[in-house]
Amino acid sequence: MKSNQIIDPEIKWLEANQPHTAQWRAENGSSAPKRVVVADDTLTADAAYRLACEGSALLWRGDFQNAKQLLQALARRVDAKSKRVLKKSADHAREHVPTETVEPLVDRIASLPLDAFHLHRQAQSQRARTLSMLLIPFKRDYTIPLRRAPDVRLACAEAWGSPGALVDAGSSDNSDDSDETSSVAPLRELLGIIGAHEWRRKGVDVVALDEKIHPHYGVFAPIRGEYVSLVAEAMLAKPPPVLAFDVGTGSGVLAAILAKHGVKRVIATDQDLRAVACARENLSRLKLNDRVNVIEANLFPEGRAPLVVCNPPWLPARPSSPIERAIYDPDSGMLRGFLSGLTAHLEPGGEGWLILSDLAEHLGLRSRDSLLRWIDAAGLIVSGKMDVRPTHPRASDAADILHIARAKEITSLWRLKAK
């Protein structure tokens, strides 16, 4: 499988007064850090935080479990700084909003939702930059040459592709005995890879399917069940069509819903190669691959269908990593592309189902009028709409800076037809 990872070829550092180079791995496509300090268990959290904030990366040579503890200590320091920035912004909001609307801290920020969103994204970005400064070395077969390091070879192979040593050996017992560092990646990224491996192994329960979906690394997991349930409910209200398109299938969950509810043939598309592989594996596991064809495509497959379904990213903003493309859609590009191309791919009398949250509207990122104008300009009319409120934990988390917007959020299935 071809990886979507963007690699800046080399990271360089001095160790024992000798120059070293290794392959740099960064899922978000960031360049290798220019300043690298070799660090071990003697480094204090305060010193590590100071170096990371100054832009110096820390190549870890100590105990692996101690590295995890250091990462947690860095996270606490980053979050404490973010809270100080939040308080400063809240005080600024108090000066611009009537007193009666700004009692709690979060309310003071959320009363200016667009500012709150940008502050939230800025804090996320700064947190990611700082925590990504703690680096872990890997040998050629993805073994970590550190004390008490876990065996992550399978997890890394799933994310990065199988290394030659692992493929040739055909056995997990054959590892590269050399201590030479072959590649380097942030510990934060490695922990994400390990977590994704566990999700892929255990799967995610999907109530509307009464089955599990097994997300791959870099593919968004269907943990928000309301949009899946909307499609399942909509399928009960009409006889299943012979053919349906699932545009931007991701893990393949909506294609599975369509097939489970009687659609005889589903063509699912995605332009991300990881998503294509993930969807194919899930549909094969569900024994639906004889009815669902997953292909690599940007938006629509060729031809027309009586039903075309799309669940595009909900927020018009720039993603900072490949997996965020499932959440952020710059300038609503995928949404507008789906709307503008829908009539050309609908059979006469067919329907397009757009599954979309209105969170962007509550954050001031996109207006309802803009969405309706795009629908009209695409030669479409709204023939019906189904709504559901979110049930995920953030919807009721009053400490979330975006809580007021999230509390108003509604996810809708828009039924669209050609004029």
| Cα–Cα dist 311/405, whole Å | 20
Expressed in percent and rounded to 5, the helix, strand and coil fractions of the chain are: 40, 20, 35
Any idea how long the chain is?
419
Long-range contacts of range 153-156, CB-CB < 8 Å, 24 or more positions apart?
Answer: 154/197, 155/193, 155/194, 155/196, 155/197, 155/217, 156/190, 156/193
152: buried, middle or exposed (CB in 10 Å: 19+, 13-18, 0-12)? buried
Distance from C-alpha of 22 to C-alpha of 33, rounded to nearest angstrom:
12
In angstroms and rounded to an integer, the radius of gyration of the C-alpha atoms of the chain is 24
Task: Say how far apart CA 403 and CA 116 lie, in whole Å.
Answer: 10
Residue-wise pLDDT for 68-105, tens only, equals 999 999 999 998 887 776 666 555 544 554 544 444 54
**Contacts of 373 by beta carbon, 8 Å cutoff, 6+ apart:** none
Rounded CA-CA distance 200/215 in Å is: 5
What are the extents of the domains in the chain?
1-202, 204-418
CA distance 228 to 233: 9
Sequence letter at residue 276: V
Structure tokens at 200: 């892929």
- The pLDDT, as a whole number, for residue 395 is 66
Q: Compute CA distances 329 → 26, 165, 231, 275, 340, whole Å.
A: 21, 38, 21, 17, 16
CA dist., res. 389 & res. 411, Å (int): 6
User: What is residue 185's DSSP assignment?
Assistant: E
| Contact indicator for 375, 416 with CB cutoff of 8 Å | yes
Sort 34 into a burial class: Cβ within 10 Å, 0-12 / 13-18 / 19+.
exposed
Buried b (16+ CB within 10 A) or exposed e, 250-276: bbbbbbbbbbbbebeebbbbbebebbb
pTM, 2 dp: 0.85
* Residue 109, helix vs strand vs coil: helix
CATH of domain 204-418: 3.40.50.150
Structure tokens at 69: 């503890």
Pick the closest to residue 225 from 388, 51, 359 (CA basis): 388
Alpha carbon separation from 250 to 13, 29, 277, 362 (Å, rounded): 38, 21, 9, 26
Q: Write down the pLDDT at residue 325.
A: 83
Identify the pLDDT of residue 69.
Answer: 98
Q: What are the b/e assignments for 365-390, b being 16+ CB within 10 Å?
A: bbeeeebeebbeebebeeeeebebeb
Contact assessment for residue 249 and residue 259, using Cβ atoms and an 8 Å cutoff: no
Cα–chain-centroid distance for residue 96? Answer: 34
User: Tens-digit pLDDT profile for the chain (419 aa)?
Assistant: 444 444 448 999 999 999 999 999 998 888 999 999 999 999 999 999 999 999 999 999 999 999 999 999 999 999 888 777 666 655 554 455 454 444 454 444 445 677 778 888 888 888 999 999 999 999 999 999 999 999 999 999 999 998 864 444 333 444 444 568 999 999 999 999 999 999 999 999 999 999 999 999 999 999 888 899 999 999 998 899 999 999 999 999 999 999 999 999 999 999 999 999 999 999 999 999 999 999 999 999 999 999 999 999 989 988 877 778 888 999 999 999 999 999 999 999 999 999 999 999 999 999 999 999 999 999 999 999 999 998 777 666 777 667 778 888 999 999 999 99
Q: What are the beta bridge partners of residue 382?
A: 416
Vertex 273: Cα angle to 267 and 274 (nearest 5): 105
